[in-house]
Amino acid sequence: MRLTAICVYLLGILRFSDGEFRFASYYGDHMVLQKAPERAVLWGFGPDDAKVTIYLSGQAAAPAVSVFAGIWRVTLVPVQAGGPYNVTAVFQNQSITLTDVLFGDVWLCGGQSNMAFTTSQVFNASEEMALASEFPHVRIFMASLEQSHTELIDLAGLEVPWSVPTGELLGGGDFKHYSAVCWMFGRLLYKTLRYPIGLVESCWGGTPVEAWSSPRALRNCGLDRTNKLPMSSITSMISAGWTNSVLWNAMIYPLLNMTLKGAIWYQGESNTEYNQKKYSCTFPSMIDDWRMAFHQSSGGQTAVDFPFGFVQLSTYIKSSVYDGFPNVRWHQTADYGFAPNLRMKNTFMAVAMDLGDEMSPYGSIHPRDKQDVAYRLSLGARAVAYGEKSLAFQGPFPNSVLVNDNHINVTYDQRVSVTQSQDIFEIFCLMVKAPGDSLSSWVPAPILQWGLSSVLVSTTKCSSRDNVAGLRYAWRDWPCDLKACPVYSADGVLPAPPFTQPLARH
């Protein structure tokens, strides 16, 4: 078993290492390396026993290292944000140079088609693509779409090598390059931070979380490496069968040595019909595993709890009564309803259920408003990853729910802005007050009135107060029209995320 692992590992190196002196595939001109206080890791291939030294615009930037088993690896001194630098690796009389390298924060962008959704596909696409020239210090990179049954040492290919952004690169074809959410997140961060941002896109449409998870992460949730996604997924128009871990192997594992600041993620649609109930385990487990693996492989440079932002699922079918979307939205938060939470520390969430786009030419599962998605993510990053303490980044969430005679008083953790709705809140009623119908079910709980931070909902559709056993909000595939859900933060910017909770009987 152990011997097999070693053989597979050596075969992996042979596949990429030909004794030629070079950097690993994802180091390139125009790249961004992680700035101080973290130290960037650089690695590559070369003939055994050679001594490699790295220079940063002429200055030695780390002690010389030896090539071992065809691979060299250097951890640079900490470098403040800025640049450009030339990064030169020298051994004997050979040298290889990366030019126009900046130091800043490096973010990984992962997920399925809503992350792959390109800048040319969004609303106001031409304005967005024209912005590229204003952000020469936001650099973009994208791994090509590859699968593997074993962990790859290096990427098998690049879709976009490190580049200064241009309209052509941002609009390189539908679902091709470059990710709108990733790009807009990067340019919004740049506007606040004013130093270089490196974006690493590694995502693939129609993929379940299991494909991006290591066998180790899956085992935590009782899954083994052989599970396969059936072809009949709802997203089959953009999905094939997926074997567990194949994208972890080919599109994440090779990146582990790169020092990162954080990651953002937009995925979950494929899991509405595949291992849906496990998602509250598989998603947090993948985050933990990525964190551990990036931390270890970078020699401790990438934080062991690096910030991880994600987009809560948007919408799919307006009239749908299927609960796959609300369930996965909930499971994306490990069933807490908000992020960060006790299970998912140092995470942040962009709510998107109010950004539905029924007329999207790319299918209603692909809403075109990615500006608001990226903006909400950027607020989460500023608060959680960059410590802007007073910045609001979460919509209202209830901190108490009191059942009274004819109503429930839902008190939120912040001031709210509310519009009337007859059915966005629902109560679970053990005995419904309707002729001939005493079955327990969810029934609408109309909003009666609201205060600065509370909402009163009616319980009169239930036969008695004692029979009110649960309360939920926005629990459907398509809860509201564009930016018109009934509960937002007081300034109307951040939607209250959906929740469901049991109520104690009285």
Ligand X SMILES: *[C@@H]1O[C@H](CO)[C@@H](O)[C@H](O)[C@H]1NC(C)=O
Give the list of residues 6+ apart from residue 311 with CB closer than 8 angstroms, or none: 111, 114, 181, 264, 265, 266, 349, 350, 352, 373, 377
**Residue nearer to ligand X on the CB measure, 124 or 320:** 124
**Per CB under 6 A, does 414 bind ligand X?**
no
Q: How far is the CB of 9 from ligand X (least distance, A)?
A: 8
Give the list of residues 6+ apart from residue 378 with CB closer than 8 angstroms, or none: 185, 188, 189, 192
Tell me how far apart the alpha carbons of residues 498 and 50 are, in angstroms, rounded to a whole number: 58
**Residue nearer to ligand X on the CB measure, 287 or 408:** 408
| Residue span 457-496 as binding mask against ligand X, x where in contact by CB under 6 A, dash where not | ----------------------------------------
Q: How do beta strands 138-143 and 197-203 pair? A: parallel
| Binding window for ligand X (CB under 6 A); candidates: 179-187, 252-260, 281-289, 465-473 | 252-260
Single residue of 98, 108, 145, 153 touching ligand X by CB under 6 A? 153
**Residue nearer to ligand X on the CB measure, 214 or 271:** 214
Site for ligand X in 199-238 (CB under 6 A): none
b/e sequence 21-31, b meaning 16+ C-beta within 10 Å: bebbbbbbbbb
Phi, then psi, of 122 in degrees rounded to 5? -80, 165
| Binding window for ligand X (CB under 6 A); candidates: 74-82, 183-191, 208-216, 248-256 | 248-256
Give the list of residues 6+ apart from residue 506 with CB closer than 8 angstroms, or none: 403, 465, 466
Single residue of 254, 309, 324, 495 touching ligand X by CB under 6 A? 254
**Residue nearer to ligand X on the CB measure, 276 or 297:** 297
| Binding window for ligand X (CB under 6 A); candidates: 158-166, 228-236, 254-262, 464-472 | 254-262
**Residue nearer to ligand X on the CB measure, 267 or 297:** 297
Single residue of 96, 131, 256, 469 touching ligand X by CB under 6 A? 256
Tell me how far apart the alpha carbons of residues 158 and 250 are, in angstroms, rounded to a whole number: 12
State the number of CA atoms in the 13 A half-sphere of 273 facing the CB: 15
Output the DSSP codes for 455-476.
EEEE-TTBS-GGGEEEEEES-S
| Binding window for ligand X (CB under 6 A); candidates: 159-167, 243-251, 450-458, 487-495 | 450-458
* E strand segments, 404-440: 407-412, 416-418, 425-429
Task: Compute how many residues bind ligand X; rule: CB under 6 A.
Answer: 26
**Residue nearer to ligand X on the CB measure, 86 or 144:** 86
Site for ligand X in 39-58 (CB under 6 A): 43, 57
Please give the DSSP secondary-structure letter assigned to residue 497. P
List, in sequence order, every residue forming a beta bridge with 409; answer none if it has no partner. 402, 456
**Residue nearer to ligand X on the CB measure, 300 or 451:** 451
Single residue of 86, 148, 243, 441 touching ligand X by CB under 6 A? 86
List, in sequence order, every residue forming a beta bridge with 66; answer none if it has no partner. 51
Name the 3-class secondary structure at 43. strand
Q: Which residues bind ligand X (CB under 6 A)?
A: 43, 57, 71, 73, 84-86, 93-94, 99, 123-124, 153, 253-254, 256-257, 297, 369, 371, 400, 409, 411, 451, 454, 456
